Amino acid sequence: MVLALLAGAVLAFAAIVGIEAVSAQFFPIPANFASMDSVDQGEVMDELPFAAKALVLLGWGLGSAVGAFAVRAIAGPGRLGGVIVALVIAGGLATVFTIPHPLWMRFGAVLAPLAGGWIAARVPVPSLALPWGRRAAG
C-alpha cells in the first residue's frame, strides 16, 4: 500500500512537471518569477495566453489520472487513488492561492484532478501478476 502510494505520487508529480516543462518551452515566464512580488507575478500571469494556463490544468488532470491509475495497478481496486487526487488538488490550490491566478483556474485546480481521478478509476487495469499488493482481475 505504501509503495503504491509512493509510486503514484512520484508518477503524478512527473506527469505534472513534464506537462509544465512543455508549456514553459512554448510560453516562457521570466527567470526571476519566483523572486517577484505578488503584484508583478499577477501581471505576468495576466499576460500569459489561455493555452499556457490550460496546459497547467491539463498537467494537474493528467498527473492525477496517471498517479491514481498507478496506485490501482499496484495495490488493486480500492479508494487509494483518491489520496493521489487529494494531493494533486492540495498542490494546485496551494499554487493558485500563492501565485495570483484567474478565478477559473482556482476552480480548475479542483476540477481537473477530480476529472483525472474519475478517468483513472474507469480505465481497465491490465492483468499483471505483481509480487506485492493485492490484485483483482481487470
pLDDT range class, residue 14, cuts 50, 70, 90: very high
Mean pLDDT across the stretch 4-9? Answer: 96
**Domain extent listing, the chain:** 2-25+45-122
Dist CA 98 CA 94 (whole Å): 6
pLDDT digits (tens, 9 = 90+) for 19-66: 999 999 999 988 898 889 888 998 999 999 999 999 999 999 999 999
pLDDT range class, residue 136, cuts 50, 70, 90: low
- The yes-or-no verdict on residue 134 having pLDDT over 90 is no
Task: Give 43's contacts (C-beta < 8 A, 6+ positions apart).
Answer: none
- The yes-or-no verdict on residue 132 having pLDDT over 80 is no
Q: 118-135 in b/e burial notation, b at 16+ Cβ within 10 A?
A: eebbeeebeeeeeeeeeb
Q: Give the number of C-alpha atoms closer than 13 A to the C-alpha of residue 129, restricted to the C-beta side.
A: 0
Give the residue among 75, 76, 62 at the shortest CA–CA distance from 120: 62
pLDDT at position 22 is: 95
